[in-house]
Amino acid sequence: MIDLLLADDHTIFRSGIRRLLLDEPDMRVAGEARNGSEALEMVKEHRYHLVLLDINMDGRSGLEVLESIRGAAPTLPVLMLSMYPEAQYALVAVKAGANGYLPKDAEPAELVTAIRRVAAGGQYLSARAAPLVQAQLHGADERPPHQRLSTREHQIMLMLLKGLSLTQIGEEMMISVKTVSTHRTHILEKLGVASTAELVLYAVRQGLIH
């Protein structure tokens, strides 16, 4: 039996996944977390075979939570889910240590397949994402600027887009405000924008936020 931890801040989505997996005799939702902090605590306190982790949660983003999970349980398989297409986040998630990535509009059968493969120690990317990620990993990099950010820069970018201040980001990530400010400067430079306001406009144009 594959025991899953489902971490997502939308109750209806968690309920849908739970009902979907009731039809699968070899897997079950053994735990649910509404945010990153709950997910990390549950990983530390219970044994799961796989974590289904939303990349865009309130508070700490899924990428931040993934980093913490890797520190607490380095070998625990993690399958990232997102409302955004694979082209936006698949490579970022894989480079951050995810074992797989699926958009939330994937077919139920594909999600079940991905869970089984990742729980068995494999990696899963959709047929659309796999060649794109492989090309990016091997030098054929035609990604937009935001996809070339480091994992830490990407995390901070998401927090800036949520409206968090430099102080709040520093407290959340347990780094100094000066370090956050340096990362922010690098992010703006790499994206070719001059301010957080312009960063928000860039994110809207790229479909990173609505």
The pLDDT of residue 74 is 92
Residue 114 near residue 82 (C-beta atoms within 8 A): no
Rg, Å, the chain Cα set: 17
Tens of pLDDT along the chain (210 residues) come to 999 999 999 999 999 999 999 999 999 999 999 988 899 999 999 999 999 999 877 777 888 889 889 988 999 999 999 887 676 678 788 888 899 999 888 899 999 999 999 999 999 988 777 776 666 666 555 667 887 788 888 889 988 998 999 999 998 888 999 999 999 999 998 888 989 999 999 988 888 876
| CATH no. for 145-206 | 1.10.10.10
Close Cβ partners of 84 (under 8 Å, ≥ 6 residues apart): 55, 56, 103, 207, 208
The pLDDT of residue 142 is 63
The pLDDT of residue 90 is 81
The pLDDT of residue 113 is 95
Vertex 15: Cα angle to 12 and 16 (nearest 5)? 90
The pLDDT of residue 200 is 92
The pLDDT of residue 183 is 92
Q: Where in the chain is the domain with CATH 1.10.10.10?
A: 145-206
Q: Where in the chain is the domain with CATH 3.40.50.2300?
A: 2-137
Residue 63 near residue 90 (C-beta atoms within 8 A): no
Strand partners, 98: none
| CATH no. for 2-137 | 3.40.50.2300
Report the C-alpha gap between 57 and 35 in whole angstroms: 6
**Residue in 143, 131, 159, 124 with CA at minimum distance from that of residue 191:** 143
The pLDDT of residue 103 is 87
Secondary element (H or E) of residue 30: strand 27-33
Q: Is the pTM of this model over 0.85?
A: no
